[in-house]
Structure 1
Amino acid sequence: MEFFIDRDPFLKVLARIQSVVERRNTMPILGNALLEVANGQLTVSATDLEVSLRTVTRVESVVEGAMTVGARVLFDVVKELPAKAIRLRGEGERLLLTCDRARFDLATLPAAQFPRIPDADGEFRLAIPREQLIGMLERTQFAMSTDETRYVLNGIFMQLTAATEVDQPGRIRMVATDTHRMAMVEQSLEHAVPENREVILPKKGIHEIRKLLEEDDSPPEMILGETYAQLIKPDLTLVTKVVQGRFPDWRRVVPTGNTVRLTTTREAFHQVVKRISTLSHEKSLGVRLSIEETRMRIVTVSPEQEEAEEEMAVTFDGPNPLTIGFNARYLREILTVMSGETAQFALKDDESPVLVYDPERGDALFVLMPMRV
């Protein structure tokens, strides 16, 4: 194998795969990137057996072939090279890299040891605008669970619904929950959905999809299979395992009978919570909301008994006074992903789940469990 490539496009390709490569593993090959040269193209692949990425770029090919090399080492080397042409040549079990006056002799492993990257089975293809996909992921991703023992919650539940009438688009719903909060977004699609489909995309796959979508404006396409899902862009393919299991019925989490309404200016409330949260770096820092008529007092006390409070105007139609506590970080994350001018809270009492939504935008809702503060 031998080829020439400019430093900048090579660095972009190598940067893409760094978060996919498994840092700690019992299989050394998973720390390597697979380099394949054929037909004037270089394909660089990486996998941790759960998430895999193939990315393609043009090269000046001299000798076609394939070999694997340490992904992190190669990235670190190329990152420090001048912006000039790079020559890579395989010699036995070594990869020789030269650029200008620099020369590196890198260890390799046989390409035959690299795991085969699967494709998603089935023909369920989903064309969804990039901005719509990013927006839906942004408003649900924060609520994914980090508890590895509850694996079906370690991702986003994606539900596709075919239209019941001819020539009508389908709908897409995304749900995420860690049992302390839940986020649900549902929107119409521009194109028809061939059939109903449900899939749980894993946490790492979601992070990689989001990162690749935000790289540029290239339109994405998704393929949803029973075992794997793919994100396809013009010069790359991301393959992720889907989570096997049944996602809980999210409808049962949505509270009913919450007749008390609290309406706030979303950004102003977000800034208040953000300010008083500076009192502590504790992830579990609670804030206490004391609501009475048209005023709400937000109070927090740190583990060192330091206290902060701020008052703001609100609209409230419930029993006066009402006091309820929330995890400050959870509250901030919900207010951050909302985009409207106002945020409305539907409450029942100080112990029951609270429904949070934008009264002017009906495509998303959030559920937040209160806490004792």
Structure 2
Amino acid sequence: MKFTVDRAVLLKALAHVQSVVERRNTIPILANVMLAAQENSLTMTATDMEIAIVEAVPEVTVSRAGRTTAPAATLYEIVRKLPDGAKVELDHPGGDAPLALRAGRFATSLMVLPVEDFPSMTEGKLPHGFDITPTLLRELVDRTKFAISTEETRYYLNGIYVHATEAEGQKVLRAVATDGHRLARIEEPLPEGAEGMPGVIIPRKTVNEIRKLADETSEPVQIRLSDTKIRFAFGSVHLTSKLIDGTFPEYERVIPRGNDKIMTVDKRAFAEAVARVAAISSERSRPVKLSIKPDSLTLTASSPDQGQAEEELDGGAVTYGAGPIEIGFQARYLADITDQIADKVEFRFADGSAPTVVVDAAKPEALYVLMPMRV
């Protein structure tokens, strides 16, 4: 195998595939990327046995067709440090010989592993399919991924639950994530072809990978899935992932329906005030107390070591007309939610100890539930 490619083109493709590779694994071949060159085309493949990514690399001049594998992270770092505009030549004569890399006056060689050892992650049949815009994909991910659980014992919460359902008589595609302390839910009109799809849980690592790829395309993203696997096609990049084999909780049961005490607050003023009062404590789980009165909100936080901080927001930033409430939330959870909201945040309270509903006043189909903390 021998080919020449522009450094920028090669670097972009390597950035995609090397991020799928697991740095620490007990199977050496999984640290490698497979390079397959034929008739002026190059395909790169990487997998961790849960996710597989395949990318067709454009603008490659192939002198000799062939296949080999090379350490993904090392190859990426070498190419990343080459000068802009460099032409990179990769040459592998076959067998156990090292892979030679040349760019200008720079030359190095990398040890390879047999192509025959490289695992194949078969997709099987993917009977359901639909296309969505990258903007919509980013929205579904960004509005929910912060609430994905990192607790491995409840593995069925380690991803985003995506399913087709109905809301107020309309068919919608809904994404939900929860870690037991907060819940995030976003819904959009159901894309053509998504009706009848199974409810699936997309793993956290896959979510992170597709979010990065969605930033790099303006073309519709093709999604194909079964009840065990899902494939995303971003133009020349195809990412296939196993789905989490588990049952997502009946999340609708934890969304309060009767919260009738409504507070609307300016997002920027609220987020900045939370950050200032929370700075008094180095403990990430330290609560911020919200003391709410008509058209008035006072935020306080305290630390046994540092003291207490307080800030008041008045009617210029706060609208509230119900009875007084005192309630506490973890500062980081509040920040995660307000990061997704552009202008006005609407809090719907029942009392100081019940779950609170938070919505984006400009986009009520994005809904969040927060469990309060003792203060």
Q: TM-score, normalised by structure 2?
A: 0.93
Moved over 3 A (4+): none
* 1:335 aligned partner: 338
* 1:126 aligned partner: 130
Kindly indicate whether the alpha-carbon contact (under 8 Å) linking 1:232 and 1:238 is maintained by their aligned counterparts in 2.
yes
Instruction: Return the offset for 1:276.
Output: 2.1
Instruction: Return the offset for 1:150.
Output: 0.6
Kindly indicate whether the alpha-carbon contact (under 8 Å) linking 2:101 and 2:108 is maintained by their aligned counterparts in 1.
yes
Kindly indicate whether the alpha-carbon contact (under 8 Å) linking 1:4 and 1:60 is maintained by their aligned counterparts in 2.
yes
What is the alpha-carbon distance in structure 2 between the residues aligned to residue 12 and residue 295 of structure 1? 51
1:133-152 matches, cutoff 5 A:
133-152=137-156
1:234 aligns with 2:238: no
2:327 is aligned with what amino acid? I
**% same residue:** 38
Residue 143 of structure 2 aligns to a residue in which SS? Answer: helix
Residue 14 of structure 1 aligns to a residue in which SS? Answer: helix
* 2:110 aligned partner: 106
What is the alpha-carbon distance in structure 2 between the residues aligned to residue 161 and residue 126 of structure 1? 15
Residue 146 of structure 1 aligns to a residue in which SS? Answer: coil
Instruction: Return the offset for 1:363.
Output: 1.1
1:183-222 matches, cutoff 5 A:
183-222=184-223
1:38 aligns with 2:46: no
1:84 is aligned with what amino acid? A
2:145 is aligned with what amino acid? Q
Is the alpha carbon distance of 1:303 and 1:9 closer, same or farther for their aligned partners in structure 2, counting shifts above 3 Å?
farther
Instruction: Return the offset for 1:358.
Output: 2.8
1:270 aligns with 2:274: no
What is the alpha-carbon distance in structure 1 between the residues aligned to residue 304 and residue 75 of structure 2? 46
* 1:65 aligned partner: 66
What is the alpha-carbon distance in structure 2 between the residues aligned to residue 120 and residue 134 of structure 1? 27
Instruction: Return the offset for 1:39.
Output: 2.5
Instruction: Return the offset for 1:219.
Output: 2.2
Is the alpha carbon distance of 1:327 and 1:75 closer, same or farther for their aligned partners in structure 2, counting shifts above 3 Å?
same
Is the alpha carbon distance of 1:31 and 1:269 closer, same or farther for their aligned partners in structure 2, counting shifts above 3 Å?
same
Is the alpha carbon distance of 1:39 and 1:123 closer, same or farther for their aligned partners in structure 2, counting shifts above 3 Å?
farther
What is the alpha-carbon distance in structure 2 between the residues aligned to residue 371 and residue 71 of structure 1? 45
2:364 is aligned with what amino acid? G
Instruction: Return the offset for 1:255.
Output: 1.3
1:134 is aligned with what amino acid? R
Instruction: Return the offset for 1:190.
Output: 4.8
* 2:12 aligned partner: 12
* 2:366 aligned partner: 364
How many residue pairs end up in the alignment?
368
Instruction: Return the offset for 1:117.
Output: 2.8
More displaced stretch, 148-157 vs 116-125: 116-125
What is the alpha-carbon distance in structure 2 between the residues aligned to residue 214 and residue 281 of structure 1? 34
1:264-289 deviations in whole A, cap 9, x for unaligned? 12221112112222333432121011
Residue 272 of structure 1 aligns to a residue in which SS? Answer: helix
* 1:77 aligned partner: 78
Instruction: Return the offset for 1:154.
Output: 0.3
1:167-182 matches, cutoff 5 A:
170-182=171-183
1:123 is aligned with what amino acid? P
Which of 108, 112, 115 is matched with 2:119 structurally? 115
Residue 252 of structure 2 aligns to a residue in which SS? Answer: helix
Kindly indicate whether the alpha-carbon contact (under 8 Å) linking 1:184 and 1:366 is maintained by their aligned counterparts in 2.
yes
Kindly indicate whether the alpha-carbon contact (under 8 Å) linking 2:298 and 2:311 is maintained by their aligned counterparts in 1.
yes
Kindly indicate whether the alpha-carbon contact (under 8 Å) linking 1:120 and 1:239 is maintained by their aligned counterparts in 2.
no
Kindly indicate whether the alpha-carbon contact (under 8 Å) linking 1:86 and 1:97 is maintained by their aligned counterparts in 2.
yes
Instruction: Return the offset for 1:317.
Output: 2.8
Kindly indicate whether the alpha-carbon contact (under 8 Å) linking 2:37 and 2:66 is maintained by their aligned counterparts in 1.
yes
Is the alpha carbon distance of 1:44 and 1:265 closer, same or farther for their aligned partners in structure 2, counting shifts above 3 Å?
same
* 1:155 aligned partner: 159
Residue 365 of structure 2 aligns to a residue in which SS? Answer: strand
Kindly indicate whether the alpha-carbon contact (under 8 Å) linking 1:120 and 1:223 is maintained by their aligned counterparts in 2.
no
Is the alpha carbon distance of 1:303 and 1:107 closer, same or farther for their aligned partners in structure 2, counting shifts above 3 Å?
farther
Residue 9 of structure 2 aligns to a residue in which SS? Answer: helix
1:53 aligns with 2:57: no
* 1:90 aligned partner: 92
Residue 112 of structure 2 aligns to a residue in which SS? Answer: strand
Q: CA RMSD in A?
A: 1.9
Instruction: Return the offset for 1:88.
Output: 1.1
1:103 is aligned with what amino acid? A
2:162 is aligned with what amino acid? M
Instruction: Return the offset for 1:162.
Output: 8.5
Kindly indicate whether the alpha-carbon contact (under 8 Å) linking 1:176 and 1:183 is maintained by their aligned counterparts in 2.
yes
Instruction: Return the offset for 1:290.
Output: 1.0
**Structure 1 stretches lacking a partner, 5+ long:** none
1:186 is aligned with what amino acid? E
Kindly indicate whether the alpha-carbon contact (under 8 Å) linking 1:161 and 1:197 is maintained by their aligned counterparts in 2.
no
Which of 338, 345, 348 is matched with 2:347 structurally? 345
2:129 is aligned with what amino acid? R
What is the alpha-carbon distance in structure 1 between the residues aligned to residue 132 and residue 171 of structure 2? 11
* 1:310 aligned partner: 311
What is the alpha-carbon distance in structure 1 between the residues aligned to residue 231 and residue 349 of structure 2? 40
Kindly indicate whether the alpha-carbon contact (under 8 Å) linking 1:2 and 1:62 is maintained by their aligned counterparts in 2.
yes
Instruction: Return the offset for 1:170.
Output: 4.5
Instruction: Return the offset for 1:138.
Output: 0.6
